């Protein structure tokens, strides 16, 4: 018995949202403390980043990004969404994500609503992989993937955190994208994901005095960076992002140095430089939005992808390789897309 061929998956369109509050580096400089990590290459601050407004949730930002799609294509553009996947950097309620609320507020009636948390900064490629598989398995019409980074204006501006070197790096924002089955649109040429679970315990949230995040106390939660942990993250990230990108390029028969565009997550400028050098790509083919948006975690890849499209630099038929790693290096993913235009 011959297995049925898997139908091709395409990225139809994507859209992004940046909160109105554009925060300069001078904001954090005014609170800077004598931090042991202040000189570390991980924390060289971008010029700007955007912070979500007080009370602005993951669902709020995703709905704002989705409004760009319906403004562009018409109010019924999302009516045929059968699969909704969401990723939020900081779920507002510990026991659920924002998928159900997003579906309700957008007036959707999907057969599948799934909140995906483990992808971290690599969630864009991961959600493309999952969404495409669900569409193909169920014969769905359209998948909506939605990502929100909302921790910058909540975690990193806290009184005990904003003076730390790590505080000036993250920004907030959201992105959405639609996937369809068939040969139209922008074909997803390949996706791949890699899990490195042995590194998961190295990602920690800490406070002074110590407490679990759900316990009451005076200490404000932030990321538990140390010089030793940073060295490990730098080593893993420098290796993993090129590895998955190169493997994905080999699958589609393209030399990494011949890729038209390479879009990665953007933790800092050092990673950006090392990654493009590993693929032997010039800086102009590895765009980023770091100096305007900071580290957007999962939203960094689609934010830069959208900015590239809006700039008019990308031409029909060109291949975009996206690649990213997550957390302290416990996950990495890549996706290659042939861009033909918004649809």
The CATH number given to whatever domain includes residue 261 is 3.40.47.10
Residue 214 within a domain? no
Q: How far is the first Cα of the chain from the last one, in angstroms, to the nearest whole number?
A: 36
**Same domain as 281, residue 135:** no
Give the Cα separation of 301 and 323 in Å (integer): 8
- Give the bridge partners for 248, in sequence order: none
**Same domain as 176, residue 246:** no
List strands edge to edge, sheet with 186-195: 112-115, 81-88, 142-149, 173-181, 9-17, 186-195, 331-339, 318-326, 261-264
Instruction: Work out the mean pLDDT of the chain and round it to a whole number.
Output: 96
Residue 99 within a domain? yes
Residue 273 within a domain? yes
Q: Are 49 and 170 in contact (CB under 8 A)?
A: yes
**Same domain as 278, residue 152:** no
Q: Are 190 and 122 in contact (CB under 8 A)?
A: no
Q: What's the CA dihedral at 125, 129, 130, 136 to 10 degrees? A: 150
Q: Domain range spanning residue 77?
A: 9-185
Question: What per-residue confidence (pLDDT) applies to 3?
Answer: 47
The pLDDT tens digits of the residues spanning 224-270 come to 999 999 999 999 999 999 999 999 999 999 999 999 999 999 999 99
Local structure of residue 295 (DSSP, 8 states): B
Q: Given 117, 150, 185, which residue is the final one in a domain?
A: 185
Predicted TM-score (pTM) of this structure: 0.97
Residue 223 within a domain? no
In the chain, how many domains are there? 2
Residue 224 within a domain? no
Q: If we measure between CA atoms, which residue out of 150, 114, 138, 141 comes closest to residue 299?
A: 150
Residue 247 within a domain? yes
Local structure of residue 39 (DSSP, 8 states): T
The pLDDT tens digits of the residues spanning 150-198 come to 999 999 999 999 999 999 999 999 999 999 999 889 999 999 999 999 9
């Amino acid at each position: 018995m011959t297995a049925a061929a898997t139908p091709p998956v395409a990225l139809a369109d994507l859209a992004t949202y940046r909160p109105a509050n554009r925060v300069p580096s001078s904001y954090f400089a005014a609170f800077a403390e004598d931090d042991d990590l202040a000189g570390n290459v991980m924390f060289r601050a971008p010029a700007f980043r955007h912070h979500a407004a007080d009370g602005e949730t993951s669902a709020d930002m995703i709905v704002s990004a989705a409004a760009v799609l319906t403004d562009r294509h018409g109010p019924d553009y999302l009516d045929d969404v059968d699969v909704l996947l969401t990723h939020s950097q900081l779920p507002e309620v510990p026991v659920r994500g924002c998928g159900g609320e997003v579906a309700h507020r957008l007036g959707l009636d999907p057969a599948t609503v799934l909140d995906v948390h483990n992808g971290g900064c690599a969630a864009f490629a991961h959600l493309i992989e999952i969404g495409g598989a669900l569409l193909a398995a169920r014969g769905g019409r359209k998948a909506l993937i939605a990502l929100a980074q909302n921790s910058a204006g909540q975690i990193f501006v806290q009184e005990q955190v904003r003076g730390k070197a790590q505080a000036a790096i993250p920004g907030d924002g959201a992105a959405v994208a639609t996937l369809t089955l068939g040969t139209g649109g922008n074909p997803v040429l390949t996706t791949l994901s890699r899990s490195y679970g042995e590194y998961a315990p190295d990602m920690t949230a800490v406070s002074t005095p110590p407490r679990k995040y759900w316990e009451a106390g005076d200490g404000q939660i932030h990321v538990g960076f140390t010089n030793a942990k940073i060295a490990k993250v730098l080593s893993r990230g420098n290796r993993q992002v090129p590895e998955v990108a190169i493997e994905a390029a080999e699958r589609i028969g393209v030399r990494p140095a011949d890729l038209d565009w390479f879009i990665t997550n953007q933790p800092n400028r050092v990673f950006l430089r090392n990654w493009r050098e590993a693929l032997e790509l010039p800086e102009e083919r590895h765009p980023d939005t770091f100096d305007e948006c900071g580290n957007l975690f999962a939203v960094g890849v689609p934010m830069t992808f959208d900015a590239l499209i809006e700039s008019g630099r990308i031409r029909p038929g060109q291949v975009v390789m996206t690649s990213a790693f997550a957390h302290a290096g416990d996950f990495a993913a890549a996706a290659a897309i042939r861009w033909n235009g918004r649809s």
